[in-house]
Amino acid sequence: MESNIDAKPPTLSINTFVEVLQTAFLFNPRNHPSPYAKSQWFQVNPKGKFNAQVTEYELGQLLPGPKYEFNLGVWYALLDSIASICAAQAFFSDIETGPISPPKYDLFGGTRRYQDYSILADKEALLYPDPPRFRAPLRQQLADQQIEIAVKFISLHEQAHVFAGHLLFVREAGSARLLEIDEADVSQHWGEARRSIELQADAIAFQTLFQSCAGNLDELRASEPRFFNIQSTVDWLTACLTATAVVCCLFEIADSVRTKEIHRRQHPTAKCRTLSLFQIFLTLLLPLVQTDDELHLALRRVLQNTAVIFQTLGVEPLEKEALNWLWRPSSATTDCGGVMELRQLQEVLQRLEPKLQQYQAQVQQRLRSRG
Ligand SMILES: [Zn+2]
Locate the DSSP E strands across the chain.
42-45, 52-56, 66-71, 177-179
Residue 154 alpha carbon to ligand 1 centre in Å: 8
Helix residue spans in 184-269 (DSSP H): 188-214, 217-223, 233-255, 261-264
> Does the residue 362 lie in any domain?
yes
Residue 156 alpha carbon to ligand 1 centre in Å: 10
DSSP-assigned letter for residue 59: T
- What's the confidence (pLDDT) of residue 50? 92
Residue 243 alpha carbon to ligand 1 centre in Å: 16
How far is the C-alpha of 168 from the C-alpha of 179, rounded, in Å?
14
- What's the confidence (pLDDT) of residue 80? 86
Residue 232 alpha carbon to ligand 1 centre in Å: 29
Give the residue, 14 or 99, on which the prediction is more confident: 14
Residue 175 clears pLDDT 90, i.e. is over it: no
- What's the confidence (pLDDT) of residue 334? 33
Residue 199 alpha carbon to ligand 1 centre in Å: 8
> Does the residue 4 lie in any domain?
no
Give the residue, 285 or 358, on which the prediction is more confident: 285
Phi, psi (rounded to 5 degrees) for 268: -65, 155
Give me the percent of the chain exceeding a pLDDT of 90.
13
Count of domains in the chain?
1
Contact 120/22 with Cβ under 8 angstroms? no
- What's the confidence (pLDDT) of residue 146? 94
> Does the residue 216 lie in any domain?
yes
Tens digits of residue pLDDT in 56-115: 765 445 555 678 889 888 988 998 889 888 888 889 988 877 654 444 455 566 678 888
Residue 1 alpha carbon to ligand 1 centre in Å: 42
Q: Give the model's confidence band at 182: pLDDT under 50 very low, under 70 low, under 90 confident, else very high.
A: confident
The listed range with the strongest mean pLDDT (119-123, 168-172, 202-206, 361-365) is 202-206
Residue 136 alpha carbon to ligand 1 centre in Å: 35
- What's the confidence (pLDDT) of residue 342? 44
Tens digits of residue pLDDT in 290-336: 887 787 788 878 888 998 899 889 888 776 545 544 444 333 333 33
Residue 198 alpha carbon to ligand 1 centre in Å: 5
Residue 294 alpha carbon to ligand 1 centre in Å: 33
- What's the confidence (pLDDT) of residue 101? 46
Tens digits of residue pLDDT in 202-224: 999 999 889 888 778 888 787 77
Residue 198 clears pLDDT 80, i.e. is over it: yes
Contact 70/46 with Cβ under 8 angstroms? no
- What's the confidence (pLDDT) of residue 251? 93
- What's the confidence (pLDDT) of residue 151? 93
How far is the C-alpha of 199 from the C-alpha of 74, rounded, in Å?
20
- What's the confidence (pLDDT) of residue 121? 67
Range of the domain at 239: 14-370
Transcribe 114-131 into DSSP letters: TTB-HHHHHSGGGSSPPP
Residue 182 alpha carbon to ligand 1 centre in Å: 10
Alpha carbon separation from 320 to 203, 303, 323, 326, 334 (Å, rounded): 22, 11, 5, 10, 12
How far is the C-alpha of 199 from the C-alpha of 338, rounded, in Å?
10
Residue 273 alpha carbon to ligand 1 centre in Å: 11
Residue 94 alpha carbon to ligand 1 centre in Å: 33
Transcribe 264-304 into DSSP letters: HTTS--HHHHHHHHHHHHHHHHGGG--SHHHHHHHHHHHHH
> Does the residue 239 lie in any domain?
yes
Residue 150 alpha carbon to ligand 1 centre in Å: 14
- What's the confidence (pLDDT) of residue 14? 78
Strands 66-71 and 52-56: antiparallel
Alpha carbon separation from 223 to 153, 216, 217, 219, 353 (Å, rounded): 19, 11, 10, 6, 42
Residue 179 alpha carbon to ligand 1 centre in Å: 7
- What's the confidence (pLDDT) of residue 325? 45
- What's the confidence (pLDDT) of residue 180? 85
- What's the confidence (pLDDT) of residue 133? 62
Give the residue, 181 or 288, on which the prediction is more confident: 288
Give the residue, 172 or 55, on which the prediction is more confident: 55
Tens digits of residue pLDDT in 120-165: 766 654 455 554 567 777 888 898 899 999 999 998 999 888 888 8
How far is the C-alpha of 222 from the C-alpha of 242, rounded, in Å?
22
Q: Which residues pair with 134 in a beta bridge?
A: 5
Residue 7 alpha carbon to ligand 1 centre in Å: 32
- What's the confidence (pLDDT) of residue 61? 52
Residue 263 clears pLDDT 90, i.e. is over it: no
- What's the confidence (pLDDT) of residue 118? 81
* Mean pLDDT score across all residues of the chain: 73
